[in-house]
Structure 1
Amino acid sequence: MVYLPQLRIPATYMRGGTSKGVFFRLDDLPPAAQVPGEARDKLLLRVIGSPDPYGKQIDGMGGATSSTSKVVILSRSTRPDHDVDYLFGQVSIDRAFVDWSGNCGNLTAAVGSFAITNGLVDAGRIPRQGHCTVRIWQAQIGKTIVAHVPITDGAVQETGDFELDGVTFPAAEVQIEFLDPADEGDDGGAMFPTGNLVDDLDVPGVGTLKATMINAGIPTIFVNAQDIGYTGTELQGAINEDAKALAMFETIRAHGAVRMGLIANVADAANRQHTPKVAFVAKPASYVSSAGKTVAADDIDLLVRALSMGKLHHAMMGTAAVAIGTAAAVPGTLVNQAAGGGERHAVRFGHPSGTLRVGAEATNVGGQWTVKRAIMSRSARVLMEGWIRVPGD
């Protein structure tokens, strides 16, 4: 029997925020994978090592968690006033499925530096010292994101003293601006797709829950921790080692997705694993993070725990942080109530790995809430660069 040799494809393995992923230039991919479709998905599944019934992704670059089973494709932007077009794929671990329905806010932090280093930003726009402003078009959600990338001696500065809970070592700070994060996007929904700041969400087997459902950063369903038997101080083991809890959260997610108009029926949720997210909130309380650090109630505005790809996230997804900041800025949402209510332009929330601050300003125009931008800081760095090898079949 004749076996095809491995393909050799230029790629970069990067950390962005609290995630890791494999980054590609679009024109470096094999021709069949330069367009959306089966060939692209099969290639990227093999790169990451999915589907893997063992759940380890041993034969690929994935790290067997939702935070480390990701791919990014970048190209020079064809849109005016933008530098780079950004596509994000969330790769399922145990299924042959790549979800292209949303963005990754954490890996967004690495997009600007990759674009600069790989010639996707005009050289004349890169200063000798200071910051390079990279305008990113997130094609899947139809949004503009601006990354402020530190530059030293004309090159991306990756090392620094900025510390991010959920990341072990310090690095250079990258400020990210999500512009108009709650405008109508590909899903066609307003910031609050049901028209309400808080809904009664009927969830079979769980009950009727108060829920804030929002399209900002990424579609997210917020519920109160106490309504589902939690305090908001939980770490990953308390949720991820409880099969009944995971099933409950997936049921909430599926029924919330229907109410948000993202899917037609709950069965469709299985083919839309990346969005919407589901999160639970609570008022501030002290706890010990997964790294053994004490988070004091006085140092945070609220507690938030969020699930990604069916598991409690070890920290917080960047796009979910945008949803948190946006919802906190709108008086009356569950997130705003957990933070103490009233007008807010920024919140610091506690997550399993520590804390995170996100800013957003909301305005009410003609009865409709809008947010012009949400801002947060992350960090990013190259872990490895060279070529990915995948079997030629």
Structure 2
Amino acid sequence: MARHVREAPGGVTQTIYLDYQATTPLAPEVGAAMRPWIETNFGNPHSPHRLGREAAAAIEVARDRVKSALGEVEGRLYFTSGATEAANWALKGAAARLPDGRRKIVTLATEHACVLDTVGWLATQGIETEILPVGDDGLVDLDLVREQVREDTGIVAAMLVNNEIGVVQPAAEIGRIARESGALFFCDAVQGFGRVPIPLDDCDIVAVSAHKVHGPKGIGALWKREGVEIDPLLHGGGQEGGQRSGTLSPALCVGFGEAARLLAERRESDRTHVERLWNRSIAMLPGWTLNGSAEHRYRGNLNLRREGVDSARLISELRAVAFSAGSACASGSGRPSHVLAALGLTGAEARSSIRLGFGRYTAEEELIDALTLIDSLALLQIVETA
């Protein structure tokens, strides 16, 4: 089969990037803000001299920007190495303080692996776990949540926007159910940060990540409500308010802060742009079936399937477009998508599914070119296997 590659002037290969759920392009303003802290302002932010104090001050400005982009609820924000560390810290740290009679965690079958695997590990440590199913639209039944979140529940964990299918869970309602029962509510808001409203009023602990919002890789954050206490995950110098040890990178923190500032500044224009790209995509792919709810979803995530399509082969042969079959974590492991399985898809349906992610820096013309290539190559596969 022919391989499709777009050639830029001078023979340089260009790739149309449609994998925004895996990571996002670094905003130019973020790169510019980080550069001095990589090249010249190299002081350790935990040192008492001038270079250290300047780095520490820059980190606090960045912290305030991320907190502001999250919301105005009173709480403390801690920088971490990423969302995986933040989720591990939230769940393990909160579980360590659960009293007798409340040693149960309730979560959803479609959560990210960093949550499900952590919950699985906690189950080996004597914590009772309850993993709730979702419907074929990817949404959890709130009546089921009410039934399972009882006086024995200590933690409820639910993702705001699913990383594979873009479905937006009723996180505010889940949080209220949890907190009314006396449980803590942990929300993985990585894919929702800056894209959909985060119900911070109904959350106790929230995880976010920089590289999903045009910031650098290697940094995330954990927000916890004022008065919520969790045990540290990392021990050592206690640099982050005595709660998280390790030397912070001023460059990464500043980059996250600048990305958060841009999120707040461009929130409405980003939303309008994504909505336009969604409408164009749906119009161009009438033969495909949407995975998950069409109504309750972030529209920068388009997860689709088509009978007769081999998604792995499609991705491999269509080098002009960067897209995926689901989570980058699962794709790297070779594991089938637990999210698509939770929706009730068969193995064949999951293997015929692709995920297209777009956002701030996706040009409409590029998207049209990419969708044309994807659809035409998919049709060739269907004809071949007919």
Bin the TM-score by the shorter chain: under 0.3
Relative to the length of structure 2, the TM-score reads 0.25
Relative to its length, the structure with more helix (as a share) is 2
Question: Which structure's relative contact order is higher, taking Cα pairs within 8 Å and 6+ residues apart?
Answer: 2
Relative to its length, the structure with more strand (as a share) is 1
Relative to the length of structure 1, the TM-score reads 0.25
